[in-house]
Structure 1
């Protein structure tokens, strides 16, 4: 994305961004991720690298950069070099952050050079917003140069601030609109005074950890949705998301999230008829699979078969 001339001169130089990157055994990608932060045109940032018990050379890579950029790149690890999962690691990093803003960068993704500059500008132009979401480039060409990358816009109208709970009603996983990727997000530090990553999302269920965090934002925060994209979301077969889908465990993970969200609404005394209606519909295939099959899945299959029969009959007509 191009940067508008003169933007840097209007920036609040005291607005530090804390970049939170958690990693577990990411030696193939971590250095490229760190370099994409070092190349940012907005330079008032700190990068907090949280080692989630890595067993490869990514620990040494992170420590080397922390040594080379003292006070700028910070290396953290859990006690005993333990593996505690991405949510506890993110919360650990946030607890040690000094910035006015918090941005998240997954350890296999990268940012374009103007990512922070563009997002700080948007916050300054929309001071009522506490959260910023942007589109993402789904990055395939890193591995196969013949394959085109795809920019996925967030599934709602961009360029405006949404109030709670509008985005919950429009975006995945309760609705059809495409959800944002963590590496495209930025929030004001005050958001984390009351909202944290849900640490019960571990193992396969960590596939939905970002959705659990986003649900809390949708319910409480004013959120600016940008059409810009300044992040590349690496697509690879070794990812947890890919494996959960390929090995047929996705619906188990989705049900876990939906049940968690139902408990969250109850625990926080949130009663909204529209949200509850969407949630009941989302849970139908898990709570009432026969009903769901008859009233949702089966009619679609019947319609498809009917169309094929009609086409055959038409083709036989003289």
Structure 2
């Protein structure tokens, strides 16, 4: 049987946390639930303590300084504290469905498979959150990929390098990974990214580890959409959006350069990184830099970001 450590980073999630934990704690495969509280300003810490006192599967941790360090550093602490052979993640305002580990039970019989990912659905908890989400993501019922894949095909798909569109991405809530694979690759979340650290992690994971798709045609977890979802609040291609995308792609660019990825992959990452780098510039300098970059790398004019520059 799988022995899974579920890592839940907790920050101001008091009204959702019990449902989240209850959705995971009953699985026989779940060895432990690791709550890592990140200096919430609501009653989250009190709820964490209550839950941990009621069930020995539930363990509570805080950062050594009891400070706020963001989701990346908080998940990293959870990984360090995990004792299970497998790691999964769950956001404190989301929850697992009963089929969460159905694919894993079979797929992980193959020792070469190091990670399995599936689809996640949405539940609208507030009308404002629904409107913000649907404005940005239309009315996507599932966050998933378009077809089954494994190994390098997953990495290529996430970089939009496959002949047919692979899909957007897979959500951390729908990922199960061998802890030994994370340790072998020395892979952790970029703690300096306050948003997009999950996408950054997944792309690096897909390069270093052998991933395989599991259940991708129906949800195995649910994401709660409400007024305080940070990602849905940012207007696409606004200055704030471009800045966050720049930091995300710069993280990937620095990683790809340091790891010496094949030229095709470095080029793809560079073009996205440079596109958002150019979006940070203003006035004549911005347009002159776009022209110069276009002369050096004409492919940048074909990226999906090529005309999305705020003045």
TM over 0.5: yes
The answer for unaligned runs of 5 or more in structure 1 is 1-11, 302-318
- The aligned counterpart of 1:6 is none
SS in 1 for 2:20: helix
> Please, what is the CA RMSD of the aligned residues?
2.9
- The aligned counterpart of 2:76 is 91
- The aligned counterpart of 1:182 is 172
Once the two structures are superposed, residues 65-121 of structure 1 have per-residue CA deviations (whole angstroms, 9 ceiling, x without a partner) of 100012x10011112421111111111111111101000001111001231344233
Q: Check if 1:82 corresponds to 2:82.
A: no
SS in 1 for 2:118: strand
Mean CA deviation greater in 288-297 or 276-285: 288-297
Q: Check if 1:171 corresponds to 2:162.
A: no
What is the TM-score of this pair, normalised by structure 2? 0.78
Measured in 1, the distance between the counterparts of 2:16 and 2:68 equals: 19
- The aligned counterpart of 1:136 is 120
Measured in 1, the distance between the counterparts of 2:254 and 2:30 equals: 39
Distance 1:168 1:286, change over 3 A: same
Measured in 1, the distance between the counterparts of 2:208 and 2:29 equals: 30
- How many corresponding residue pairs? 273
Q: Is the 8 A contact 1:156 1:170 kept in 2?
A: no
Measured in 1, the distance between the counterparts of 2:17 and 2:36 equals: 12
Distance 1:199 1:223, change over 3 A: same
1:58 to 37, 44, 52: 44
Measured in 2, the distance between the counterparts of 1:233 and 1:81 equals: 27
- The aligned counterpart of 2:5 is 18
- Alignment of structure 1 residues 5-44 onto 2, 5 Å: 12=1, 15-40=2-27, 42-44=28-30
Q: Is the 8 A contact 2:253 2:270 kept in 1?
A: no
Once the two structures are superposed, residues 152-202 of structure 1 have per-residue CA deviations (whole angstroms, 9 ceiling, x without a partner) of 2533421x4223xx323322688862101111111001122121111221x
Measured in 1, the distance between the counterparts of 2:95 and 2:161 equals: 28
- The aligned counterpart of 1:195 is 187
What is the TM-score of this pair, normalised by structure 1? 0.77
The structure with the larger Rg is: 1
